Amino acid sequence: MSAEARTTPATALAADVRAGRRSAVEVLEEHLARIATTEGDVHAFNLVTEAHARAQAAAVDGAVSEGRDPGPLAGVPVALKDLICTRGVPTTCSSRILEGWTPPYDATVVTRLAAAGAVFVGKTNMDEFAMGSSTEHSAFGPTRNPHDLSRVPGGSSGGSAAAVAAGYAPVSLGSDTGGSIRQPAALCGVVGAKPTYGLVSRYGLVAFASSLDQIGPFTTTVADAALVLDVIGGHDPRDSTSLPDTAREKAASRLGRGVEGLRVGVISELAGAQGIATDVAARVRHAADALAGAGAKVEEVSVTSVVYGLSAYYMIAPAEASSNLARYDGVRYGLRVPGEDITDMYIATRSAGFGPEVKRRIMLGTYALSAGYYDAYYGKAQKVRTLIIQDFEEAYRSYDVLLSPTSPTTAFELGAKTSDPLTMYLNDVCTIPSNLAGHPAVSVPFGTGDDGLPVGVQVLAPALGEPVMFQVAEVLEAAVAGAPGGAK
Amino acid sequence: MSQSTYVTGADGALWEIVIGLEVHCELRTETKLFCGCRNAFGEEPNTNVCPVCLGLPGSLPVLNRQAVEYAIRIGTALHCQVQRSIFHRKNYFYPDMPKDFQISQYDIPLNADGWLELPSAKRVGIVRAHMEEDTGKTTHLGGGGRIHGAAHSLVDYNRAGVPLVEIVSAPDLRGAEEARDYVDELRAILVATGASDGKMEEGSLRVDCNVSVRRQGDTELGTRCEIKNLNSLRSLGRAIAYESARQVEVIEAGGKVAQQTRGWDEADGRTHSMRSKEEAYDYRYFPEPDLVTLDPGEEWVQNVRSSLAVMPAERRRRVAEAAGAPVSSEPVATVVRLDLDGLVVAAVAAQVDAALALRRLANEVAGQLAETGPTDMGPDAFVRLVKMEQDGELTSAQARTVLKVLVSEGGDPKAIASGLGFEAMAAGALSGVVDDVVAANPKEWERYAGGDDKLTGFFIGKIKAATGGNADLRAATELLRQRRG
Amino acid sequence: MARLARLSLTDDELHQYTSQLAGVLEHAADIEALDIEGVPPTAHPFPLVNVLRDDVVAASLDRAEVLGQAPDVDQDRFRIPRILGEAP
Ligand SMILES: [Mg+2]
Ligand SMILES: [Zn+2]
């Protein structure tokens, strides 16, 4: 299995379906057939919703035959990370505690995708409640990397990354709290974008860490990622943290312009230090060279506080999670394990329903918020967040975008990092700063490492800088495509 | 200094009762604080619920503008600083809370540092008046419907997410009576702002009470206990009386009052320890990441200030001034409490005797309303009646009788008076009666005319009898005086 | 801490978590090196203000659908085991 299994990009599929050259049903069946062939090995999905998808595809075809435009994603199969609420379709967060729960409502992104003609093929596997970097912390078993089944796909959105890499869908949605889209995208050799905080509504996204979570797309091309973002993005009155639409440019608005004259800063703190593998570091240098070759002004830049991002993140995210996950108490929905009294029931339910990584983070977060420790941990982490934002602001005075590795290494073996959480957490060192700052960042596949596995390069941009971010990412994509040997 | 502000110890020493109150007020919005579900009382269980107020995974809160408007009105009416504020999460596990945290305000509340003026003219400090969401309702089955001994419980989330403002007073209150006065006054203010229906019996207002005691003359505060489950003003008074006596007993026995939360048990008339400070819950407050800063700004606050109804304290001031009565006097408080102060103001406007108007309202009308409920009496009719009495067209006894009818049935005071046979005794008619009485009692008249004022009463009695009580006695006295020259 | 979070941990888990959390906290101590005196905290990446909703009724959920998700229901309410204490 390899990247050859990739599907036709969404942009092309939708164009064919809208023009009546291909039917949405035919497109869907092709993808379902691919799922049937290899999903048993990959386990990208918690649930494949064939019947639902067939009905949606038929409706898209019906619209086309009646002369109506089904929308910019007409007939495009989309896989949804299993923490995005879908009315009438179970949403588990890969946790026992939500087994059997069926949301009575759709997430805003689901409504918007459906209105654009997308066809939902299923709910993808993930680290439980998005806590993890390998998709091994799923109550339903791990997802495997389609490029090498002995390797992890990354996480927490590993199922969504694998689904696109394996050709199960040209588009999937993930969520990114500390790198959960970009890191698996890098490890699976697909494009993965985390938008500006507030660009995409979080309504219907089961919360991990509310001030960091963002939904974003996995795609096979940069143009597809921009297209999907333009469909799912935009103000939503149901999300108080959703940004107003004023002054927002379309994500796809600067595609095709090249990078002539753009200023690119390679973050020196993330380029070669902190356990970044030498083959990965080399790919980032190649990417920088490719951009310079395409006419960009490329320099190293220091963003000093990013190295503290990891520490700040591991105070803030578990703290918010400990509160967000309190509601899973066996009273209203999901799992209940009986108990003598209400407290016994709470403890029995939560102890049986949550996996070890979730419990670990709840403990950490409870500690970080507890009396006497708030100032030392959560309070301090919020100040570090301010420093990171200030340092980024400083860098963006001189550069249009920044460049770094996405993940310190290529995909690792299953089980390699599960015993030591800190080692696992270090996977996110390059991706976390964007979450803390609320800035957009995208991982673009840029050749392979020494082991022949995909390497991702991360393009970071300032708030609402998606257009320039994709503009640069597209040039990197072209550089790899134009020099398949040289890109290695 | 009322007796109930002190507890008398075993040795006869006086202990001062120090009270601070926390009042939760449900706001009269159409919808809940963070979702579009109806804010309604007494509906079928679990019908006004949605993903947000059920705390379903993925749901997010969005703040209700009208709830903020009401909260600002409350803050303004309580002379608070209305300020830029944020919401926090208060984390604790309890089944009536769908998210197992409450969205509330913590160190930066919307309203802070205000005061409220009691009818006694005493000012009570308001520490804060912050916004938060209400919880659901739990019913206990088995064990007589009480939480202890119940076999299991049932939860209805209709109330979950209803907007509340929690008003925290400074420990400025002394004794049960003043605490009740405070709640009464606060309720009147809340109703006047339009923010609350003031219905304690429906739980629209809920009171928690902090009680401590200290020896008379001490300036340090004693250790306080918080009393919960106070469902009426009566419970509040009883609980304070019980709890303050309990604390004095503890201290006098050589013990120390432990800082505790105690529940009031209406049935046995005692407070019971719920938990001590050592077991105090760690709420792990942190800024609610799903909501943004609330900063009403100068313009919004100004608009509220300029459109706010006149508050009870100001109404008392106006009545007191109009009637020449002390602002802290009982009649002034009474007419404002019963919403009768508009009638005093009307009397002033019509240039009739406002003090007389106040007296009639605070005594006769208030007494009657306590028995019969609200009245349709309009200000015009009332003012005309006062004028009739003032001008001597009716005796005070007659006026009171007419007023009674006016209050219960409404109508025109003149018509009522004539219907009752209280024909206005014209000055000429009264003069004729005086003539007759003087002629019939020549000896007494001689003495009176010679300057013996003691006989005034004799002649007035005769005139009263001759007119069947319908004479204006002041006018009659005047006629007698004129006649003797 | 586990009780506060309503979790029960086996001795093994407790031992493992304690040392793992100690490791994470030790790593987090690198923050100590930063001069954060006077730096304001960031709770939100973007300082939005006054995001408000009109006080207009929206549809609630169907009760049967709501209660259909519950582990235990009685008299149209969520049924729970006995509660040992008042709300804190
Ligand atoms: Mg409260
Ligand atoms: Zn609701």
Contact A383 C43 (CB under 8 A): no
pLDDT in tens, A415-459: 998 888 888 888 899 999 999 999 999 999 999 999 999 999 999
**Mean of the pLDDT values across residues A321-344?**
96
pLDDT of B315 > 90? The answer is yes
pLDDT of B143 > 90? The answer is no
**Mean of the pLDDT values across residues A90-105?**
96
Q: What confidence score (pLDDT) does residue A420 get?
A: 82
**Mean of the pLDDT values across residues B262-290?**
83
pLDDT of A5 > 80? The answer is no
pLDDT winner (highest mean) among B49-53, B472-476, C9-13, C84-88? B49-53
pLDDT of C17 > 90? The answer is no
Note whether A364 and A298 are within 8 A (CB). no
Compute the radius of gyration of chain A from its Cα atoms: 21
Q: How far, in Å, from the CA of B162 to the mean position of ligand 2?
A: 9
Contact C20 A356 (CB under 8 A): no
Residues sharing a CB contact under 8 Å with residue B471, sequence separation 6 or more, in sequence order: B395, B425, B430, B433, B463, B464
pLDDT band at A487 (very low <50, low <70, confident <90, very high): very low
The number of beta carbons lying within 10 Å of the beta carbon of residue C10 is 9
Note whether A100 and A76 are within 8 A (CB). no
Quick one: which of A109, A33, A408, A476 has its CA closest to A259? A476
Nearest CB neighbour to C44, from listed B29, B35, B289: B289
Quick one: which of A50, A178, A151, A158 has its CA closest to A94? A158
Window 60-119 of B, Cβ < 8 Å to A: 60-63, 89, 91, 93, 95, 98-101
pLDDT in tens, B420-435: 877 656 666 788 888 8
pLDDT in tens, B91-125: 999 999 999 999 999 999 999 999 999 999 999 99
Residues sharing a CB contact under 8 Å with residue A397, sequence separation 6 or more, in sequence order: none
pLDDT in tens, B34-59: 999 999 999 999 999 999 999 999 99
Residues flanking ion ligand 2, Cβ below 5 Å? B 35, 37, 50, 52-53
pLDDT of B133 > 50? The answer is yes
Q: What confidence score (pLDDT) does residue A1 get?
A: 45
**Mean of the pLDDT values across residues C53-82?**
96
- Average predicted confidence (pLDDT) for chain B: 90
> Distance of CA B375 to CAs A236, B232, B359, B366, B387, Å?
51, 26, 17, 10, 20
**Mean of the pLDDT values across residues B296-319?**
95
Provide the shortest C-alpha distance from residue B373 to chain C (in Å).
34
pLDDT of A280 > 60? The answer is yes
**Mean of the pLDDT values across residues B218-222?**
90
Helix or strand run (H / E) with residue A368: helix A356-369
CA separation for the pair A433, B440 (Å, rounded): 112
pLDDT in tens, A22-38: 999 999 999 999 999 99
Nearest CB neighbour to A351, from listed C4, C7, C72: C7
Chain A residues whose C-beta sits inside 8 Å of any chain B C-beta: 83-85, 91, 93, 98, 101, 103-105, 107, 202-207, 209-211, 237-241, 319-320, 322-323, 326-327, 329, 331-333, 342-343, 346, 366, 369-371, 374, 378
Quick one: which of A178, A158, A6 has its CA closest to A82? A158
pLDDT in tens, A56-96: 999 999 999 999 999 999 999 999 999 999 999 999 999 99
Rounded to 10 deg, the angle between the A466-482 and A278-293 helix axes is 100
- A217-221, B51-55, B78-82, B465-469: least confidently modelled range: B465-469
Whether C15 and chain A come into contact, CB under 8 Å, resolves to: no
pLDDT of A169 > 90? The answer is yes
Q: What confidence score (pLDDT) does residue A488 get?
A: 38
pLDDT of B461 > 80? The answer is yes
Percent of chain B past pLDDT 70, that is, above it, reads 96
Strand residues in B297-455 grouped as ranges (E)? none
Bond into B120 cis (ω within 30):
no
Rounded to 10 deg, the angle between the B312-323 and B330-337 helix axes is 130
pLDDT in tens, A136-156: 999 999 999 999 999 999 999
Nearest CB neighbour to A333, from listed C17, C53, C69: C69
Q: How far, in Å, from the CA of A333 to the mean position of ligand 1?
A: 26
- Pull the structure tokens for residue B395: 């005796």
pLDDT of B436 > 80? The answer is yes
Residues in chain C within 8 Å Cβ distance of B60: none
Residues in chain B within 8 Å Cβ distance of A343: 93
- Residue A315 identity: M
pLDDT winner (highest mean) among B198-202, B238-242, B393-397? B238-242
Whether B46 and chain A come into contact, CB under 8 Å, resolves to: no
**How far does chain C reach from its first CA to its final CA, in angstroms?**
17
pLDDT in tens, A198-243: 999 999 999 999 999 999 999 999 999 999 999 999 999 999 999 9
CA separation for the pair B401, B417 (Å, rounded): 9
Q: What confidence score (pLDDT) does residue B278 get?
A: 52
Note whether B119 and B181 are within 8 A (CB). yes
Q: What confidence score (pLDDT) does residue A485 get?
A: 41
CA separation for the pair B130, B83 (Å, rounded): 11
**Mean of the pLDDT values across residues A466-483?**
93
Q: Catalytic: A180?
A: yes
Q: What confidence score (pLDDT) does residue B230 get?
A: 87
Note whether A339 and C81 are within 8 A (CB). yes
DSSP code at position A149: T
Give per-residue burial for B379-400: e unless 16+ CB within 10 Å, then b. bebbbbbbbbbeebbbbeebbe
Contact B152 C80 (CB under 8 A): yes
Which ranges in B48-112 belong to alpha helices (H)? 65-77
pLDDT of B3 > 70? The answer is no
- Average predicted confidence (pLDDT) for chain A: 94
Helix or strand run (H / E) with residue A64: helix A50-65
Q: What confidence score (pLDDT) does residue B277 get?
A: 55
